[in-house]
Amino acid sequence: MARPSTEALPRFACPDWWEKIQAGQTPMAAVPVNHARAAKALAFFNRLKLPDVPGTPALSEACGDWFRDILVAFLASEDQSTKQRLVWELLCMVPKKNSKTTYVAALGLTALFMEEAPNRQMLLVAPSQNISERCFDQAQGMIRLDQRLQAIFKVQDHIKRIERRKTGTVFDVKTFDTSIVTGEIPILTIIDELHELGKKAKAAAVMQQIRGGGITMQGGQVLMITTQSDEAPAGIWRTELDKARKIRDGKGGTSPILLPVLYEFPAELQRNETYWRDQRHWPLILPNLNRSIDAQRLVDDYENNGRATKEAEQIWTSQHLNIEIGVGLGSQEWRGADYWQAAGDPALTLEALIERSEVVTFGADGGGLDDLLGRLLTAGRAAVHAAGLFLLPRAERRRYRVSSPSSRRGNEQVSAGCAIGLGQNFDLGLCIKTTLVDWTPDWLEPLLPYWPWAAVIIGAGLAWRLAGAPGLAAFAAAVGFILGRRSMEPNNPDIPDADQ
């Protein structure tokens, strides 16, 4: 795996992340911290107890060091020279059943305890009501197990709110909604199962509102924790995952504010089904193994359920091994993508292409916009094609003869206004005429030779096609009449043959 130079690494770059995972370390960059603040955060966090585990063990023994590393980096990071916070955002991707929901609930309580500013707001956002309820139940359960915490915090079950009595700052647990950040900007937002937001409309807009707190004088932190998606990553999840990987690999700029902590196999090993099917490699990306995850039960679940079908295995591995759909099993990516860059020819310049070619055609693919461009931008489309061809040097311009089709079935290639000549014989009217011929409904085509009545008929046809845009249709008909009249004449002598 290619590694960036270790000299002057960008902030939060961790080129040896895979080596750290193999060594049992947390796969994140070293972050300078305020040691007094870190000690205070750890002391509070470690005394919290798990409310849903027999014996209610304290996190000092029940939590792995991997999450304590995250806690300290997120809550106590500090630039040694400026004394300013460094980590404003953090993205942790860890497989299912590694206690991420419980741990972030404990982190939220720790942050609430550490915040001395009065009357602030903190949020924990979950994609569904079930997840948000579990988050709140874990947090309030930890409080009710400790009388000292009950004196510090006030729990309001009916609105899923925890308030620190001394400061009035609140920690709200909410289900994702486009209105969750209406009003006050939170100083801390925790987002559980971020990948699920990639499936929700307007998630990007809500994230932008949440991040608005980061530019205020008080600042606002965002912690995102999630498993990999059980579908190909999309939306806000695709965006955040790609950004985190770039930062981790040293390609995210010189001073990013997001710290990535990604438990995953390198892409080449995700594509190697033999490697990740080997159960000896599973512990590498399961930091809470033998705490919240039983190794044998995980294997049994895979053998009995995960391998039932190809689709079942695809989903199982995405959730328990963070194998990205579209990279590992059941890849939906274009196989040529792995070889595309290597197949490039740096010697093939525009000049070399013109030199070796008899004809060079420039074009553009508007994808789903083609219908819109073809129907509404007749003159504009022709002009764009002409402008593209005029990028050629004057000495290299060629002139071609393009015959207009007698009907739409006569020449399917002239269906988008691409029949153009070049140089002195460029005929915009011909471009428009050939396009309008193709647009006209079959039952109107016999009337086209009767020009200028054809302009009126074409306008009516366009109005019919556009369903309620008579002004635009009339304009198109007028343009077709003015610029296309001469080119409607058969065997127009002004259009040269290609071999002239």
Q: CA dist 331 to 244, 305, 325, Å?
A: 22, 20, 6
Which range among 410-414, 425-429, 457-461 has the greatest average pLDDT? 457-461
pLDDT band at 384; cut points 50, 70, 90: very low
Lookup result for tokens 């343009």: 479
Q: What is the pLDDT of residue 493?
A: 43
Q: Summarize the chain as % helix, strand, coil (round to 5).
A: 45, 10, 45
Res 70 pLDDT > 70: yes
Q: Which of 1-5, 271-275, 320-324, 457-461 has the lowest mean pLDDT?
A: 1-5
- For residues 367-379, give the mean pLDDT: 45
Q: What is the pLDDT of residue 320?
A: 97
- For residues 164-172, give the mean pLDDT: 96
Res 435 pLDDT > 90: no
- For residues 108-133, give the mean pLDDT: 93
Tens of pLDDT along 197-229? 888 888 888 888 888 766 666 778 999 999 999
Backbone angles phi, psi at 171, to 5 degrees: -120, 105
The residues pairing with 478 across neighbouring beta strands, listed in sequence order, are: none
Q: What is the pLDDT of residue 344?
A: 76
Res 190 pLDDT > 50: yes
| C-beta separation of 145 from 155 below 8 A | no
Percent of the chain with pLDDT over 70: 66
Check residues 94 and 204 and name the one with the higher pLDDT.
Answer: 94
Amino acid 330 reads G
Check residues 492 and 77 and name the one with the higher pLDDT.
Answer: 77
CA distance 71 to 141: 20
What the block records as the tokens of 472 is 């635009």
CA distance 402 to 415: 13
Backbone angles phi, psi at 170, to 5 degrees: -120, 155
CA distance 140 to 160: 9
Per the document, the length of the chain is 500
Check residues 457 and 250 and name the one with the higher pLDDT.
Answer: 250
What the block records as the tokens of 467 is 């369903």
| C-beta separation of 167 from 117 below 8 A | yes
Q: CA dist 308 to 97, 301, 319, 343, 357, Å?
A: 21, 10, 15, 39, 55
Check residues 445 and 50 and name the one with the higher pLDDT.
Answer: 50
Q: What is the pLDDT of residue 284?
A: 97
Strands 153-156 and 161-164: antiparallel
Res 233 pLDDT > 90: yes
Res 49 pLDDT > 90: yes
Q: By C-alpha distance, which of 144, 83, 82, 62 is closest to 109?
A: 144
Res 436 pLDDT > 70: no
Q: What is the pLDDT of residue 415?
A: 32
- For residues 32-61, give the mean pLDDT: 96
What the block records as the tokens of 208 is 């932008």
Q: Phi/psi zone of residue 235: left (φ > 0), alpha (ψ -120 to 50 degrees), beta? A: left
Check residues 496 and 481 and name the one with the higher pLDDT.
Answer: 481
Q: CA dist 74 to 71, 236, 470, Å?
A: 5, 21, 60
CA distance 209 to 85: 21
- For residues 26-39, give the mean pLDDT: 97
